[in-house]
Amino acid sequence: MSKSLQFTLRADEMPTHWYNLNADFPEPLPPPLHPGTREPVTPDLMTALFPEVLVAQEMSPERHIEIPAEVRDVYSLYRPTPFLRAARLEKALQTPAHIYYKYEGVSPAGSHKPNTAIPQAYYNKMAGTKRLATETGAGQWGSSLAFACSVFGLQCNIYMVKVSFHQKPYRKLLMQTYGATVHASPSNETDYGRKVLAADPGSNGSLGVAISEAIEDTMKHPGTKYALGSVLNHVCLHQSIIGEEAILQMELAGEEPDVIFGCAGGGSNFAGLAFPFVRKKITEGKKYRIVAVEPASCPSITKGELRYDFGDTAETTPLMMMHTLGHAFMPPSIHAGGLRYHGMAPMVSHCRKLGLIEAVAYPQLKVFESAVLFARNEGILPAPESAHAVAAAVDEAIRCRSEDRKRVIVIGLSGNGLLDLAAYDSYLTGHMHDTGADD
């Protein structure tokens, strides 16, 4: 193996703009609706939660949006992220397929989430915000926002789902190290948290409840804004840096993808990798297959309905047109914590409706089997979320073997699993089980 397996970009080759797929959809995305009037939401409703620049990005029809120099400067701590040929995995699978992966696990928080945390903190700072409130499940988003807030000098107040707060203390400690305040949700900090606790003092919490607490916190504290780590259009926009880099890195590798796999929880890392390639499908007639991979136990895009639904349990957010399992859905506690969300980003849902992407669901044992195979050949320990994309890619590579066909496969590896070793322990010791959405 004398050929280079890495394809990197010089600083002067780096993308300078994010890509907004809303400019190229053949049919416009249905707008978010006000929960009371059911009329499309007006910007002023959203500026209670977000600074004006982010609201403008949320609704922007512009194709390319410039990445501020200050944001590019912070990105340069870890970007461009690696793009590698998984030559050893190919060999282990004895496949004629060429497998590449785009690895976001080198960011300070270990996932793709700082790609949007950094610009969100930056735009808030510019708008005079003093403090950000947010929710986090297992802590990937919380630690990303905590890092971004420390870079731009903002306070950060985080509602962390209680079961993770107690069972997964390491990301909580990372958030605290970055200077954030972390509450176990449901908490006594908000009316909604107190209400949930009154009804069920032993409540383990959920992402929906934590979102409701963070929104209430924002409304009640002047100088505070809210930040969301997935689902929304502006989050998908910021994540497009992943795909923009990957397109340039594929050119260096001298190949074009046939199939692209990304894991999908709220949909943002998938959108980030996929949307620049979706643009090429729409504007250049490319035939890429682009596949969102989700857990069988929380199958919003493969089994959920496409309809208007709330983003949170307390029904405070605007209604979004999305694939949803219903905002009251309580996913089983699978190890890929970042994929336990009842809905799918409206933009990703819209892509599915228009036939621009496909979706599949994988059970967790299969996912961990592939994660271990990947780790043993490539060295990187995939995050349990990312391992969903690995599992689907491994199956595709095996199909190539039986069909004796070369295909170029790209995996979006959204993060590393170094803080998820307890999940690997559970797999390696035979304690992991598959749970269905109905369990």
Ligand X SMILES: *Cc1c(COP(=O)(O)O)cnc(C)c1O
Residue 87 carries which side chain, given as an amino acid letter?
A
The correct pick among 240, 268, 302, 324 for binding ligand X (CB under 6 A) is 268
Q: Does 412 bind ligand X (CB under 6 A)?
A: no
Q: Does 206 bind ligand X (CB under 6 A)?
A: no
Q: Does 264 bind ligand X (CB under 6 A)?
A: yes
Q: Does 143 bind ligand X (CB under 6 A)?
A: no
Quote the least distance from Cβ 206 to ligand X, whole Å: 15
Window 99-128: residues binding ligand X (CB under 6 A)? 111, 113
Quote the least distance from Cβ 233 to ligand X, whole Å: 13
Quote the least distance from Cβ 40 to ligand X, whole Å: 24
Residue closer to ligand X by CB (options 95, 338) is 338
The correct pick among 32, 108, 114, 415 for binding ligand X (CB under 6 A) is 415
Residue closer to ligand X by CB (options 97, 437) is 437
Residue closer to ligand X by CB (options 140, 249) is 140
Q: Does 383 bind ligand X (CB under 6 A)?
A: yes
Q: Does 414 bind ligand X (CB under 6 A)?
A: yes
Cβ–Cβ under 8 Å, residues 239 and 112: yes
Residue closer to ligand X by CB (options 111, 190) is 111
Quote the least distance from Cβ 373 to ligand X, whole Å: 18
Q: Does 387 bind ligand X (CB under 6 A)?
A: no
Binding mask 208-237 for ligand X (x = CB under 6 A): ----------------------x-------
The correct pick among 178, 385, 423, 424 for binding ligand X (CB under 6 A) is 385
Residue closer to ligand X by CB (options 297, 414) is 414
Q: Does 324 bind ligand X (CB under 6 A)?
A: no
Quote the least distance from Cβ 415 to ligand X, whole Å: 3
Among candidate residues 322, 259, 325, 318, the one with its CA nearest the CA of residue 291? 259
Q: Does 267 bind ligand X (CB under 6 A)?
A: yes
Quote the least distance from Cβ 117 to ligand X, whole Å: 11
Q: Does 364 bind ligand X (CB under 6 A)?
A: no
The correct pick among 32, 142, 257, 266 for binding ligand X (CB under 6 A) is 266
User: Contact positions toward ligand X, by CB under 6 A?
Assistant: 111, 113, 140, 230, 263-270, 338-339, 383, 385-386, 414-415
